[in-house]
Amino acid sequence: AQSVTQPDIHITVSEGASLELRCNYSYGATPYLFWYVQSPGQGLQLLLKYFSGDTLVQGIKGFEAEFKRSQSSFNLRKPSVHWSDAAEYFCAAILTGGGNKLTFGTGTQLKVEL
């Protein structure tokens, strides 16, 4: 079955430290991949997406993600975390040609220590 896995439920980092949030997918073919961020009580904001081409994708707020086909991964990174980055992060995927149905990972709650 198609699935998206985020192994880390919670992550705590110090402000200024680097960040990597893990995401793995299980699809027969390479899906379209997304990272979203959700602040408490809010909707989701798209950070970045990968459809094809360059496997290193730049997004908003200084985030980037790297698609690695061999590892079926699409990990999100940021070189230096800010306190305002504390939020819930969701990795999601759409199977190409799959009618735009997004499958979400379970989310990673990021806490930033000052």
> Which residues form the interface with another protein (CB under 8 A)?
32, 34, 36, 41-46, 49, 51, 90, 94, 96, 99-107
Q: Which is nearer to another protein, 27 or 32 (CB)?
A: 32
Considering beta carbons, is residue 84 or 96 the nearer one to another protein? 96
Cβ neighbors of 84 (< 8 A, separation 6 or more) are none
Q: Least distance to another protein from the beta carbon of 110, Å?
A: 14
Query: CB neighbours (10 Å) of residue 11?
Result: 16
Taking the complex as a whole, how short is the minimal distance between the CB of residue 81 and another protein, in angstroms? 21
Residue closer to another protein, measured from CB, 75 or 103: 103
Quick one: CA torsion of 43, 85, 62, 55, rounded to 10 degrees? -70
Q: How far apart are CA 4 and CA 25, in angstroms?
A: 4
Instruction: Report the residue number, 10 or 70, with the smaller CB distance to another protein.
Output: 10
Closest contact distance (angstroms) between CB of 104 and another protein is 5
Does residue 106 come out as left (phi exceeding 0), alpha (psi in the -120 to 50 range) or beta?
alpha
CB of 44 to another protein, least distance (A): 4
Give the phi and the psi of residue 13 in degrees, each rounded to 5. Answer: -130, 155
